[in-house]
Amino acid sequence: MRFPTRLIAVAVAIALASPLRAAPVPGEDIIDLTQPIAGTSDKTGLDLLRQLFPDLDPSSDPRLVASATQMIDLRSIGAGDDSWIGCGDRIDIEGLEAHPLHLGDQTRVILVPALDDQCAVPLAMFDRDGKLIDAINVKGDQHASGDTPRPLGAAGALIIAHNWHDNSSQSYDADSLILAKADGFSAIGNIFAFGSHDCRGQFTEDAVITMVPAKPMARIEVAVTREARKFAKDCETQLGRKVTTTFNGSWRWNVKKGAYEPHTRELDLLADWNQKQF
């Protein structure tokens, strides 16, 4: 049973710089690995992917893009965890997206391969010459995915990585804020949401992530709303009104440190409380 514990609505204010800068960075679905990738100097999908999967070959299976038996070591960040990397003797790639970006005065391409069995969830960054700059794993739970990059300012973009699983009575969600800069990826912070249900009560938590205009880098605001209900002995009749509580936090750019700083006291208290309910 899955509860609606995660509602990611990344609302980007248009005034960040311009409508194009505020919008998600358009991605290109790569079907033909022999074609040049936009944002590179005529490097192909094969050129880039083989830096992640050294023995990769295009697949004749129409359901797949390519297959390999080897993958380089990936650095896990955010809620990603090395223990969740479990690729076996065959790695099937069922999809590939490329996102060209301008980060500072540099051109970068973020490559997002979709592995058939989610044995890992890699994100990779390449320069204009097609050289690998950084490669990370964001999988840290049974299910995981990466969101479309969104510009934070001239020098960086935000990627939200989602990890989740559920069982018959509980649901667990973690959203990692990943910063993409010209020199690679780094973790900004994690947002956790939890849901639980039994005969006498239920609560759900929904997280909303918002980017607010600021210079030189947008402020990232988060609100996690918890709704709690109590039930009678019949496990169906609601007792009283639902109780709604919202926990707020933000990450703000520190110019001197060149990094995002957390202002997340309420979110930290919520995460600590949730941890005790597991």
Give 165-189 pLDDT, tens digit per residue: 999 899 999 999 999 999 999 999 9
* AA letter at 81: D
Which of 7-16, 98-107, 220-229, 263-272 is predicted with the least confidence, judged by mean pLDDT? 7-16
pLDDT at 81 > cutoff 90: yes
Measured CA distances, 240 to 6, 234, 235 (Å): 25, 15, 14
Contact of 52 with 75, CB cutoff 8 Å = no
Backbone angles phi, psi at 229, to 5 degrees: -130, 150
pLDDT (average), residues 261-277: 91
At residue 38, does pLDDT exceed 60? yes
Q: Name the residue ranges covered by the structural domains of the chain.
A: 1-22+154-278, 26-147
Cα torsion angle, 81, 59, 133, 156, sign = negative
Q: Could you tell me the two tokens for 193?
A: 């949401």
Mean pLDDT of 100-124: 95
**pLDDT at residue 227 is higher than 80:** yes
Residue 174: name the closest of 77, 41, 252 by CA. 77
Spatial distance between the Cα atoms of 126 and 138, rounded to a whole number of angstroms = 17
- Percentage of residues in the chain with pLDDT exceeding 90? 82
Across the chain, what does the average pLDDT equal?
Answer: 89
The CA-atom distances, in angstroms, between 66 and each of 95, 96, 120, 167, 266 are 9, 10, 15, 33, 45
Single out the residue of 24, 20, 21 nearest to residue 8, CA to CA: 24
Output the pLDDT for position 14: 27
| pTM, 2 dp | 0.88
Q: Are 115 and 87 in contact (CB under 8 A)?
A: yes
- Name which residue leads in pLDDT, 147 or 255: 255
Q: Which residues contact 180 (CB under 8 A, 6 or more apart)?
A: 101, 103, 108, 110, 125, 149, 156, 157, 158, 159
d(CA 51, CA 40) in angstroms, rounded, equals 15
User: What is the per-residue pLDDT across 193-217, written as a single tens digit (0 to 9) for each?
Assistant: 999 999 999 999 999 999 999 999 9
By the 8 A CB rule, do 259 and 152 touch?
A: no
Please enumerate in sequence order all residues whose Cβ is within 8 A of that of 18, keeping only pairs 6 or more positions apart, or say none. Answer: none
Which pLDDT does position 26 carry in this prediction?
Answer: 63
